[in-house]
């Protein structure tokens, strides 16, 4: 049987190992989740959100401990880990306060004496979550799913199994009933059977486009809804009239949060020709100042990549992009020594078709592309299979807003700021970045059925 291993990415040392569940153990988890749902769906929403409020309190009380766990298992610097835990608390508090109103019956006119639409929970929802935000991704999915009256099975990334188990303990301590939130230590080849199982009602995946296609095919074959938040090659369009200092700072921060290991990180920075030279030099200086080091050091701004294979893949993408004609202004060579570090890197003018233009670079690599003018910048921004997020920078905020709203092909478009998620706003992508939405009212209703009730 497979054993999942957690490894400290700053040293390469093994932390812990966990045996995968066999088919019998998974079957018992499915039974428990379905049994828990039968009772949980009947609990009044005011009571269902009480565990969310309690979870927020636990998260805040254990911020430092959870941040340290993330630093050890995936290399996230402590300052970023603390921010992640605090954001988890905020999404719990948001749905604790708003879920009742969002789930209220909605009167609709009809031929009936009374008719309305009632959002009803679907059942057991399987969440397949990644390693890069091991607390946030799981809480972002599970808090509204539980509040809506569903129960949750979480298949987390094997490399952050310690975080997964901490989340299971968190929800149980917060008051989610037995079986209501469970971790599945399952292998990938076990997931199609879990998705097809009649005890599972729906699936949520955050991951790669390739994983999204596989999950969508399995869910479609079983006639089950799914939400897919997939990869991205997010553009930042810097127009000629942009505030240079603001645009450089926002692009640098947006590119390098979580060591660049984020679906919505600023991947391609597209700068109008009149501003290109000044922007490039300012960005180069900003990137060169970043402090790379041990994620447990309070001074560290950028830690290692989460796994050795991820660093190797990023190094190949950079090498291939440079070989194709991109210039490397900073970094570009993985250091020797312990840990899976990769330096802050700046590539400029990668040719169309190179990895830096076509693929998702999951790491601290910024790519600068020159645009001839505004129209060319918009064309370049949309010239990708992905459509998760996009940003635009201009002193003419009204014009930038019109471009963001009408012309950038993305699920989220930000004006004069880098892309981020907010519990109050729906989050998700278009094109190869997936479908469906998390967060906001849309995220709460994603795993509900709009039930029509007609009363004569």
Q: 214 and 312 in one domain?
A: no
Q: 183 and 289 in one domain?
A: no
φ/ψ of 208, rounded to 5, equals -80, 165
- Within a domain: residue 266? yes
* Alpha-carbon distance values, 59 to 54, 79, 131, 378 (Å): 9, 15, 19, 41
Q: 218 and 351 in one domain?
A: no
The answer to whether residue 168 is catalytic is no
349 dihedral zone (left: phi>0; alpha: psi -120 to 50; beta): left
- Within a domain: residue 10? yes
324 burial via Cβ count (<10 Å: 0-12, 13-18, 19+): middle
Q: 207 and 345 in one domain?
A: no
What is the per-residue pLDDT across 174-185, written as a single tens digit (0 to 9) for each?
999 999 999 999
Residue 266 has a pLDDT of 98
Cβ atoms of 432 and 385 closer than 8 Å: yes
User: What average pLDDT score do residues 201-220 get?
Assistant: 97
pLDDT over threshold 90, residue 227: yes
- Rounded to whole angstroms, the Cα distance separating 373 from 453 reads 54
- Rounded to whole angstroms, the Cα distance separating 348 from 328 reads 6
Residue 328 has a pLDDT of 98
The answer to whether residue 226 is catalytic is no
What is the per-residue pLDDT across 306-327, written as a single tens digit (0 to 9) for each?
999 999 999 999 999 999 999 9
- CA-wise closest residue to 301 among 287, 313, 314, 311: 287
- Within a domain: residue 428? no
Q: 204 and 317 in one domain?
A: no
> What CATH number is attached to the domain comprising 356?
3.40.309.10
- Within a domain: residue 407? yes
- Within a domain: residue 403? yes
Q: Which of 84, 98, 229, 359 is catalytic?
A: 229
Question: pLDDT grade, residue 432 (50/70/90)?
Answer: very high
The domain of 246 spans 235-422
pLDDT over threshold 90, residue 430: yes
Angle between helix 50-61 and 63-74 (nearest 10):
70
- CA-wise closest residue to 134 among 126, 142, 146, 124: 142
What residues pair up with 390 in beta bridges, in sequence order?
413
Q: 284 and 206 in one domain?
A: no
Q: 191 and 281 in one domain?
A: no
> What CATH number is attached to the domain comprising 169?
3.40.605.10
What is the per-residue pLDDT across 367-382, written as a single tens digit (0 to 9) for each?
999 999 999 999 999 9
Mode of pairing for the β-strands spanning 386-387 and 430-431: antiparallel
Q: 240 and 209 in one domain?
A: no
User: What average pLDDT score do residues 264-288 get?
Assistant: 98
Question: Which helix (H) or strand (E) element contains residue 387?
Answer: strand 386-387
Q: 445 and 333 in one domain?
A: no
**Residue holding tokens 């309190």?**
57
- Rounded to whole angstroms, the Cα distance separating 197 from 215 reads 14
Residue 298 has a pLDDT of 96
Average pLDDT, the chain: 97
User: What average pLDDT score do residues 204-228 get?
Assistant: 97
Residue 1 has a pLDDT of 66
DSSP letter for each residue of 48-108: HTHHHHHHHHHHHHTHHHHHHHHHHHH---HHHHHHHHHHHHHHHHHHHHHHHHHTS-EE-
- Within a domain: residue 427? no
Q: 450 and 417 in one domain?
A: no
Q: 417 and 353 in one domain?
A: yes
Residue 258 has a pLDDT of 97
Q: 56 and 85 in one domain?
A: yes
- Within a domain: residue 246? yes
What is the per-residue pLDDT across 108-139, written as a single tens digit (0 to 9) for each?
999 999 999 999 999 999 999 999 999 999 99
- Within a domain: residue 306? yes
Q: Which of 263, 357, 359, 438 is catalytic?
A: 263
> Could you give the number of structural domains in the chain?
2
């Amino acid at each position: 049987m497979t054993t999942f291993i957690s490894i400290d990415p700053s040293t390469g040392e093994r932390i812990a190992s966990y045996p995968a569940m066999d088919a019998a153990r998974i079957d018992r988890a499915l039974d428990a989740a379905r049994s828990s749902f039968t009772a949980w769906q009947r609990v009044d929403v005011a009571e269902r959100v009480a565990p969310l409020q309690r979870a927020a309190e636990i998260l805040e009380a254990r911020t430092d401990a959870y941040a340290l766990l993330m630093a050890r298992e995936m290399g996230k610097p402590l300052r970023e880990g603390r921010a992640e835990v605090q954001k988890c608390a905020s999404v719990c508090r948001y749905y604790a306060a708003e879920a009742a109103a969002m789930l209220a019956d909605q009167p609709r006119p009809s031929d009936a004496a009374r008719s309305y639409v009632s959002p009803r929970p679907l059942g057991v929802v399987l969440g397949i979550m990644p390693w890069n935000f091991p607390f946030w991704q799981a809480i972002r999915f599970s808090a509204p799913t539980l509040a809506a009256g569903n129960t949750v099975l979480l298949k987390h990334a094997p490399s952050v199994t310690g975080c997964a188990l901490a989340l299971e303990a968190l929800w149980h301590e917060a008051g989610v009933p037995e079986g209501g939130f469970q971790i599945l230590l399952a292998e990938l080849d076990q997931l199609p059977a879990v998705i097809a199982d009649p005890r599972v009602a729906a699936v949520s995946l955050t991951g790669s486009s390739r994983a999204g296609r596989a999950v969508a095919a399995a869910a479609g074959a079983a006639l089950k809804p799914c939400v897919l938040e997939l990869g991205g090659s997010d553009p930042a369009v810097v127009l000629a009239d942009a505030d240079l200092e603001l645009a450089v700072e926002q692009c640098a921060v947006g590119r390098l949060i979580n060591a660049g290991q984020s679906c919505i990180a600023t991947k391609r920075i597209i700068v109008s020709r009149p501003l290109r030279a000044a922007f490039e030099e300012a960005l180069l200086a900003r990137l060169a100042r970043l402090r790379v080091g041990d994620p447990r050091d309070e001074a560290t701004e950028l830690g290692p990549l989460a796994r050795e294979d991820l660093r190797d893949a990023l190094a190949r993408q950079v090498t291939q992009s440079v070989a194709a004609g991109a210039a490397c202004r900073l970094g570009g060579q993985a250091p020797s020594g312990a840990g899976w570090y990769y330096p802050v890197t700046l590539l400029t003018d990668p040719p169309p078709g190179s990895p830096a233009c076509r693929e998702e670079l999951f790491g601290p690599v910024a790519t600068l592309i020159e645009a001839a003018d505004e129209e060319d910048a918009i064309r370049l921004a949309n010239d990708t299979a992905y459509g998760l997020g996009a940003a635009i920078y201009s002193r003419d905020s009204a014009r930038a807003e019109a471009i963001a709203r009408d012309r950038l092909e993305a699920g989220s478009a930000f004006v004069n700021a880098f892309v981020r998620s907010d519990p109050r706003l729906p989050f998700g992508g278009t094109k190869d970045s997936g479908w469906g939405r998390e967060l906001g009212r849309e995220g709460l209703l994603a795993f509900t059925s709009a039930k029509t009730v007609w009363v004569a």
